[in-house]
């Protein structure tokens, strides 16, 4: 961990206003930014020639020289992409990219974020009439149903 002397502390009013500005100003950061842009451009170029279903799950994972590695979430996507590799290479060449090798890697984690996201619950709060009906039901029930109704009423601020 580097400790700054008071005169060395980075200024809070640095001339860089965004992270992109900061990356551009640094030599290594500029290289990272350039590589990221190239990968995004290549990904767009590849996806333009794929079906929407395949394009949605295809990502550029690495770019080295004249080789690009594509990541897909399953073996089925990988098999289809391997069939399309010659066409993808030709399409990239027509778009000005000098890439002649495409490697495909299965990365199951590509769909993890999308499948773990749950849609927001549709919540319809119970009105007073509904709560009164549950209170009446509670008076006529026993056992597990009565316990469930009590929990429901407690959750909605009513004592059962």
Count the Cβ atoms, other than its own, within 10 Å of residue 24: 13
Rounded distance, CA 99 to CA 156, Å?
62
Band (pLDDT 50/70/90 cuts) for residue 6 is very low
User: Does the pLDDT of residue 146 top 70, yes or no?
Assistant: yes
Quote the mean pLDDT of the chain. 81
pLDDT of residue 141: 87
Q: 102 with 46, same domain? A: yes
Domain CATH code at residue 36 = 3.30.300.180
Pairing of strands 67-72, 101-106: parallel
Domain total for the chain? 2
In a domain, 3, yes or no: no
Q: 62 with 91, same domain? A: yes
**Whole-model pTM?**
0.55
User: Does the pLDDT of residue 115 top 90, yes or no?
Assistant: no
Q: 70 with 95, same domain? A: yes
In a domain, 11, yes or no: no
Please compute the mean of the pLDDT values over residues 143-156 and round it to a whole number: 88
Residue 61: strand, helix, or coil: strand
pLDDT of residue 30: 73
Rounded distance, CA 141 to CA 160, Å?
12
The boundaries of the domain holding residue 68 are 19-113
Please compute the mean of the pLDDT values over residues 142-160 and round it to a whole number: 83
């Amino acid at each position: 961990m580097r400790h700054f002397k008071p005169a060395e502390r980075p200024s809070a009013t640095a001339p860089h206003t965004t992270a992109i500005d900061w990356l551009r100003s640094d030599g290594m950061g500029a290289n990272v930014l350039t590589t990221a842009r190239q990968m995004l451009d290549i990904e767009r170029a590849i996806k333009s020639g794929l079906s929407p279903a395949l394009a949605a799950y295809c990502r550029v994972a690495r770019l080295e020289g004249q080789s690009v590695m594509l990541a897909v979430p399953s073996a089925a996507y990988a098999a289809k992409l391997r069939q399309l590799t010659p066409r993808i290479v030709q399409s990239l060449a027509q778009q000005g990219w000098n890439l002649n090798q495409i490697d495909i890697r299965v990365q199951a984690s590509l769909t993890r974020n999308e499948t773990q996201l749950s849609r927001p619950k549709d919540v319809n709060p119970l009105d007073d009439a509904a709560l009164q009906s549950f209170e009446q039901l509670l008076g006529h029930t026993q056992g597990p149903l009565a316990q469930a109704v009590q929990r429901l009423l407690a959750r909605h601020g009513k004592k059962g």
